[in-house]
Amino acid sequence: MPQTAVAYELIESAVQLACRAPSYHNSQPWQWVADGSNLNLYLERDRLVTTDRSGREALLSCGAVLDHLRVAMAAAGWSANVDYFPNPNKHTHLASIDFTEMSFVTEGHRRRADAILQRRTDRLPFGPVPDWPGLEGMLRRAIDDDGAVLDVLGDDARPQLAEASQLTETLRLYDSSYHQELSWWTSPFDVSDGIPQSALVSAAESDRVDVGRTFPVTRHTERRLEVPEDRSRIVTLSALADTRDDILRCGEALSAVLLEATLAGMATCTLTHLTEVEASRDIVGGLTGRAHPQALIRIGLAPALDDVPPPTPRRPLPDVLGSRLL
């Protein structure tokens, strides 16, 4: 079926939904540009987090928003055809996308788009997944093996993961730039990016999760006391190679896993601090046998009666979508 121009209003709605994708410290390092029948995705250098010196985290984030865009458009009846890195002379131009009209929109397409709004990063402890073999099969089917590799880490790997998590924090104990930046992204101000206080955990809550990033301490009432310790399953996503294309595609796989777990009624928490420092990244690679681990994800059950915090903020649509590149 030939490509067809899509109404700009539909592009606006899809981009707005896609931008609910997770990103490093909720930095949202992406820019969308509509150009005739094409939609283009750019890495916005001005939004790179200083401590993400290689830009790896930003590429993962942009891969996630790209997959979210594909999901949003499918729910509206359009298939997205992605041309990766279309301009070899402009490394920030990550993808050019055109669209073909689908013959039928299934309930599955709509439910996956709904999952974008339901998903959030949950840093509290999780209960066990009721049917892990069934969910694992769904997760593996959701990702493209040509873009990333998914590994499941067993309970016997937990002590080493906890050690790697603590090692990361120890190595960054005197890293002033990292702590200054983390403090800025978690500041208690009403802004359109960063991590709100409602999404952080107290010291007591953090103590019940053995594998997690240490954020500035909050002082709210301890929550989810009926889950005394984290009993989540932890999966890893590894890139096939250490290239920009592979890392971007690993970000797409991250989106797919998060949405699939959300569709199954599970809570999720993405962990990237374990791959940000070489020493801890080597521990993860040793556990999986993969050379290029990019992200870990905790997956588990959150009590149904939990109070759900408000959605994390997002940049206004005019800031992330334009009809030409400025």
- What was the pLDDT predicted at 185? 87
Q: Above 50 in pLDDT, residue 326? A: no
The single residue listed with the structure tokens 């890893």 is 236
**CA-to-CA distance for 66 and 41, rounded, in angstroms?**
8
Q: pTM of the predicted model, to two decimals?
A: 0.95
Residues in the chain: 326
- 315-319 long-range contacts, Cβ below 8 Å, gap at least 24? 315/19, 315/28, 315/192, 315/193, 316/192, 317/12, 317/15, 317/16, 317/19, 319/192
Strand partners of residue 42: 31, 93
- What was the pLDDT predicted at 146? 78
Higher pLDDT, 215 or 272: 272
Higher pLDDT, 217 or 314: 314
Q: Kind and range of the H or E element at 317?
A: helix 317-320
- What was the pLDDT predicted at 67? 98
Contact status, residue 116 vs residue 247, Cβ threshold 8 Å: no
- What was the pLDDT predicted at 308? 81
- What was the pLDDT predicted at 325? 46
Q: Above 90 in pLDDT, residue 197? A: no
Contact status, residue 284 vs residue 273, Cβ threshold 8 Å: no
Q: Above 90 in pLDDT, residue 253? A: yes
Alpha-carbon separation of residue 243 from 60, 222, 311 (angstroms): 12, 42, 32
Cα 67–69–74 angle (5° rounding)?
100
The highest-confidence range among 32-36, 46-50, 146-150, 232-236, by mean pLDDT, is 232-236
Domain range summary for the chain, segments of one domain joined by +: 8-118, 132-300
- What was the pLDDT predicted at 126? 97
Q: Above 90 in pLDDT, residue 319? A: yes
The single residue listed with the structure tokens 């990292």 is 178
Q: Please give the CATH architecture assigned to the domain spanning 8-118.
A: 3-Layer(aba) Sandwich (3.40)
- What was the pLDDT predicted at 68? 98
Higher pLDDT, 129 or 53: 129
CATH superfamily of this structure's domain 132-300: NADH Oxidase (3.40.109.10)
**What is the mean predicted confidence (pLDDT) over 103-123?**
97
At 190, the pLDDT band (50, 70, 90 cuts) reads low
Q: Is there a shared CATH topology between the 8-118 domain and the 132-300 domain?
A: yes
Q: Above 90 in pLDDT, residue 305? A: no
At 187, the pLDDT band (50, 70, 90 cuts) reads confident
**What is the mean predicted confidence (pLDDT) over 282-308?**
93
At 3, the pLDDT band (50, 70, 90 cuts) reads low
Helices (H), 19-119: 56-75, 107-118
Lowest mean pLDDT among 24-33, 113-122, 286-295, 298-307: 298-307
**What is the mean predicted confidence (pLDDT) over 203-217?**
91
**CA-to-CA distance for 69 and 180, rounded, in angstroms?**
32
- What was the pLDDT predicted at 254? 98
DSSP secondary structure string, 206-269? HHT-SS------B-SPP--TT--S---EEEEEE-SSSSHHHHHHHHHHHHHHHHHHHHTT-EEE
At 50, the pLDDT band (50, 70, 90 cuts) reads confident
Tell me the average pLDDT of the chain: 93
